[in-house]
Amino acid sequence: MRLRHKKGAENDILNTPFCINSYKNGSNFTYIDYFDLFKNDKPVHLELGMGKGSFITKMSKKYDNVNFIGIEKSATIVLKAIDNLIKNSDENIIDYYDEKLLSSYNNLRFMCEDIENLDKIFKDNTIDKIYLNFSDPWPKKRHENRRLTHSRFLSIYEKLLKKGSILEFKTDNLQLFEFSLEEIKNSNFGLIDYTFDLHNDTKLNVGNIMTEYEEKFSKKGNKICKLIAKI
């Protein structure tokens, strides 16, 4: 079910220290300085369309040698992701503005932004991995250029990723997955591996961390598809 818009969510996003806001001034963008943001030079991974943040939060706890940035267009959803962090934190954190969030999740940050603006925010050849999890399938043919695996988005990811870096995509939507396979094959990405039934794939399911949608759809019996591509 779609979350109802939270009044004042945009202002809350601007004021919480956990979200990245310094890159934007009105309609003007500046590139993010990863070292200034994380105080280290660890690899940077992005999740595009992070939803309520379950996947990327689990990833940040499992891989403390990586910096993670979760990106979502809706301020309401970003605030929901922060709510979930607060509920699950070991610290006594009571609201969005608490500086302890920064230390409790020191390798994780969120951003409220349109994915079409990524190349204005992140410098070319600086991202080590991109995750696309259960993106909106946009099922109508006339909307296919809105799909996050469409060639116009792949060209953005190609610029951001370091050479030899990985793009991972998961979905339960077979039509979207088949479309994505073709888009990858016609792009500068190389298709490394893929499966139409992730949870029964003894190779690709190793170490798999499920998203909220993945848990929901798999319980319904939906097969989960996954592809891995390299630039």
3-state helix, strand, coil in the chain (%, to 5): 35, 20, 40
Q: How many separate domains does the chain show? A: 1
DSSP type of residue 19: B
pLDDT by position in tens, the chain (length 231): 455 656 656 777 777 888 998 888 888 999 999 999 999 999 999 999 999 999 999 999 999 999 999 999 988 989 888 888 888 776 777 777 777 878 888 999 999 999 999 999 999 999 999 999 999 999 999 999 999 999 999 999 999 999 999 999 999 999 999 999 999 999 999 999 999 999 999 999 999 999 999 999 999 999 999 999 999
33 belongs to a structural domain: no
- Report d(CA 228, CA 206) in Å as an integer: 14
- Domain containing 83 equals 9-17+39-230
CATH number at 47 reads 3.40.50.150
**Count of CA atoms in the C-beta half-sphere (13 A) of 18:** 31
34 belongs to a structural domain: no
Query: Closest by alpha carbon to 57, among 66, 40, 201, 184?
Result: 66
23 belongs to a structural domain: no
Residues 175, 47, 165, 201, Cα dihedral to 10°: -50
29 belongs to a structural domain: no
Question: In a 3-state reduction of DSSP, which class is residue 139?
Answer: coil
76 belongs to a structural domain: yes
129 belongs to a structural domain: yes
- Report d(CA 34, CA 127) in Å as an integer: 10
49 belongs to a structural domain: yes
Known catalytic residues are 136
28 belongs to a structural domain: no
